[in-house]
Amino acid sequence: DSGVTQTPKHLITATGQRVTLRCSPRSGDLSVYWYQQSLDQGLQFLIQYYNGEERAKGNILERFSAQQFPDLHSELNLSSLELGDSALYFCASSAPSGRGSGNTIYFGEGSWLTVV
Amino acid sequence: GENVEQHPSTLSVQEGDSAVIKCTYSDSASNYFPWYKQELGKRPQLIIDIRSNVGEKKDQRIAVTLNKTAKHFSLHITETQPEDSAVYFCAACPTGGGNKLTFGTGTQLKVEL
């Protein structure tokens, strides 16, 4: 158990709908990351938050948005869903970094999203 | 931005043999290189990492080497076992990059009996 909690574990929804994925980071971690993993694909970085503020942005679609709340949990909102959005969405967290990089990133179990 | 290439995409070895997976990165500012193992349908798990001030690191049957000049790093697994079968991802993180990892495309390792 990495200590990163994600809900829901599985989700099936129809095209055009909107879903929200939730993540609770490890205790004490300030950074939250979202990654998308499609079938037979690698891990695509979507977005990072640090202590409530957006820190880095990857290939996140405009239909997707995220936020990190004061209690440090994060939500990833996916709207106008398309079949191609079906994927495993991982949340990850890492310990506070004074500056720079190099802190271990711990992944949650992921949320399986199936768009039908 | 950083670009990480990983080879091979699939690797099949006999139990007891060694396996080597190689990655190259593009951003010379990268200074942190973790390796993750992902079993089917499960989360990626860190198995070893190396920082740019070290050339080699070993943990039991797993070792990672880093060549900063050539901008490549490799994962070495010795005495492979069936439970080593999984997808392995390398990643790179640049200094000042806010801990944003760029992952390679993964290597499907299969250890055959």
Is the CB of residue A33 less than 8 Å from the CB of residue A91?
yes
What does the DSSP 8-state code read for residue A65?
E
The answer to whether A107 contacts B102, with C-beta atoms less than 8 Å apart, is: no
Q: What is the pLDDT of residue A103?
A: 77
- Candidates A41, A53, A101: best to mutate against B (most CBs of B within 10 A) is A101
Residues 30-49, chain B: which have Cβ within 8 Å of A? 31-32, 34, 36, 41-46, 49
Which 3 state secondary structure label does DSSP give A85? Answer: helix
Residues A27-86 have pLDDT tens digits of 989 999 999 998 767 899 999 999 999 998 988 999 999 999 999 999 999 999 999 999
User: Least CA distance to A94: which residue of chain B?
Assistant: B99
Name the least confident of A28-32, A71-75, B38-42, B93-97.
Answer: B93-97
Which residue from A51, A115, A106 is spatially nearest to A78, judged by alpha carbons? A115
Q: What is the pLDDT of residue A12?
A: 97
The answer to whether B20 contacts chain A (CB < 8 Å) is no
Q: What is the pLDDT of residue B96?
A: 64
Name the least confident of A106-110, B23-27, B37-41, B53-57.
Answer: B53-57
- The 10 Å Cβ neighbour count of residue A27 is 8
Q: Which residues of B touch A89 (CB under 8 A)?
A: none
Name the least confident of B30-34, B52-56, B94-98.
Answer: B94-98
Q: What is the pLDDT of residue B97?
A: 58
